[in-house]
Amino acid sequence: MNGLQTGPVIGISLAALIATLAASEVLVRGVGRLAWNLGLLGGVVGLIVALCADSPEISSSVSAVANGSAATAAGVVFGSNVFNIAVLLGGAALAAGGVRIPLPALVIDGGAAILVTLSIGLVVLGGLPVPLGLVLTLVVFVPYVTFLTLRTSTIERIPLPNRVRLFLVSASREAGVEGMELESELEDLAPRTHSRDWWPVVLMVPALVVIVVGSILMVQGAVTLGHRWGIASVLVGVVALAAATSLPNAYAAIRLALDGHGAAVVSATFNSNTLNLIAGIAVPVILFPALRGSVPPAYVIWLLGMGVLAMLLLATGLKRRGAVLILAAYAGFVTYAVVTA
């Protein structure tokens, strides 16, 4: 887009953003229909929905690093993850008056997100070799996904200490409830018939194409405008692209909270952050070593700190006062990013 005037660049970028967000909605609805048709478990539904909702962030990150802007790529992922904690959790709690989740489910979902953030964050900062960081990530993520794919009745039969088994059973039941809540929301958006209609599933393919193309145009537009206006690449990613690509998640979280599905909000937030890091950083860093050292250490520390803060507040029930604290922490993050960029 370097050959275009500033006006057309802005217009193309906005059009790409709108098309990407709309396609993301189509993709999520297709997943809901697929889950309904195949009878997928609730925990698996939540993970797949989170992945589809994250497609704009992930595509933007991969597109940015492929175009030689590693700082923008890493900024999109870390910025959107901080945004998710602040706006998905904080915004949902403000809108609904509070967000609650049973402690076992919080420990499983939030714990996995924190550990993945720590391992991938150390890789990006150069504190861990890439192979070791990826192995540690898999050590956390593979058992987590396995847990989501197991039925509660199967977990009840695993020979574990009684307290551990009861803890996991409780978390498994809650994951199933969260999945049903997500499916209920998707049904409200696109009511299902009793027949196994596959048309929404077919539309997932063109929707994914639109998301990829739209993300490429958004990244090129944002980087071009950043260069013309003298804005650092990392700031373009961590503030502008991160917030813009996370809008579908924010809308869905507030809708879920208002309908009383607070636990699904928490699960979706932490799953979204985990998948952002794995698909947007861990996989690309294998082919693009420039991602190492592409963000300041404070970004990683801030994300970890906000994740821990959110878990502490959620452990006793996140209410409006705690939501204001989380949003204030995000405002501090943005201020720090602007000042230091």
Q: Structural domain of residue 335, as residue ranges? A: 6-340
The pair of three-digit structure tokens given for residue 120, joined into one six-digit string: 């991938």
The pair of three-digit structure tokens given for residue 324, joined into one six-digit string: 């204001």
For the purposes of burial, counting CB atoms within 10 Å of the CB of 20, is it exposed (0-12), middle (13-18) or buried (19 or more)? buried
Closest to 45 in 3D by CA, of 267, 194, 259, 251: 267
- Other C-beta atoms lying within 10 Å of the C-beta of residue 168: 19
For 30, 57, 87, 244, the CA distances from 247, given in Å and listed in that order, are 19, 10, 9, 6
**141, 303 Cβ separation under 8 angstroms:** no
Examine residue 99 and state whether it is found in any structural domain, yes or no. Answer: yes
Examine residue 316 and state whether it is found in any structural domain, yes or no. Answer: yes
Q: How confident is the model at residue 44 (pLDDT cuts 50, 70, 90)?
A: low
Closest to 32 in 3D by CA, of 44, 14, 16: 44
Closest to 57 in 3D by CA, of 286, 250, 333: 250
Number of domains into which the chain is organized: 1
DSSP 72: H
For the purposes of burial, counting CB atoms within 10 Å of the CB of 15, is it exposed (0-12), middle (13-18) or buried (19 or more)? middle
Examine residue 1 and state whether it is found in any structural domain, yes or no. Answer: no
Beta bridge partners of 98: 319
Give the whole-angstrom CA distance, residue 140 versus residue 193: 38
139 pLDDT higher than 70: yes
More reliable by pLDDT, 5 or 330 = 330
Rounded CA Rg of the chain = 19
CATH of the domain at 269: 1.20.1420.30
DSSP 291: G
Listed ranges 24-33, 167-176, 249-258; the one with the highest mean pLDDT: 167-176
35 pLDDT higher than 70: no
**241, 79 Cβ separation under 8 angstroms:** yes
Q: What values do phi and psi take at 150, rounded to 5?
A: -85, 140
pLDDT in tens, 95-115: 889 888 889 989 999 999 999
* Across 147-156, 241-250, 291-300, 311-320, least confident range: 241-250
Give the whole-angstrom CA distance, residue 132 versus residue 117: 14
Distance between start and end Cα atoms, the chain: 24
Examine residue 266 and state whether it is found in any structural domain, yes or no. Answer: yes
